[in-house]
Amino acid sequence: MKPDPRQTAEVARLLGREPRGLEAIAVTAPDGSPRVIRVASLVDDKPFPTLFWLVDAQLNYRIDQAEAGGLIARLQARIDADPELQRALRADHAAHIALRDSYITPVLRARIEALGFTAVLARRGIGGIEDFTRIRCLHTWYAAHLVVANTVGKLVDAYFQEQAR
């Protein structure tokens, strides 16, 4: 179900621009404000593999601070050293691809196929990542985590808990 005009206006305010490809508000805060939006897999006839987008200003700021403090590199090193985390990361990407595919309507699927983008969406996971061993952006991982828990999101949650102590 498409967001109502008030929700769309709030998303535009949070993004600082009109949202492109907005399909739904995937997660809301306790006060009802949008936290995560779901975006179409095809925007302006171009593939858009980032299914979920974090729009919550406070969460974005916290994640910006964590990234600036080197959290991506620390988490990546931890994942690189742990075969179990590597397996979990690959599983997260595969599950995300399947979830994204479940939102693609037959009409949209036909357009994606006609434009030759089926393979692009089939091989890009969370945040549009093609290398399933890499993190790249905590914002996209955390947005997806708020919808369906994932490995990197759990590591970010643990980081936030450590910071709160």
pLDDT for res 52: 97
pLDDT for res 5: 87
pLDDT for res 1: 67
pLDDT digit string, tens, across residues 89-100: 999 999 999 999
What residue ranges of the chain have pLDDT lower than 70?
1
Q: What is the CA 15 to chain-centroid distance, rounded?
A: 15
pLDDT for res 4: 85
Edge-to-edge strands, sheet with 22-28: 22-28, 34-39, 52-54
pLDDT for res 29: 93
To 5 degrees, how large is the angle CA 154–CA 49–CA 109? 130
Taking CA atoms, 149 is separated from 88, 89, 129, 143, in Å, by 11, 12, 17, 10
pLDDT for res 140: 96
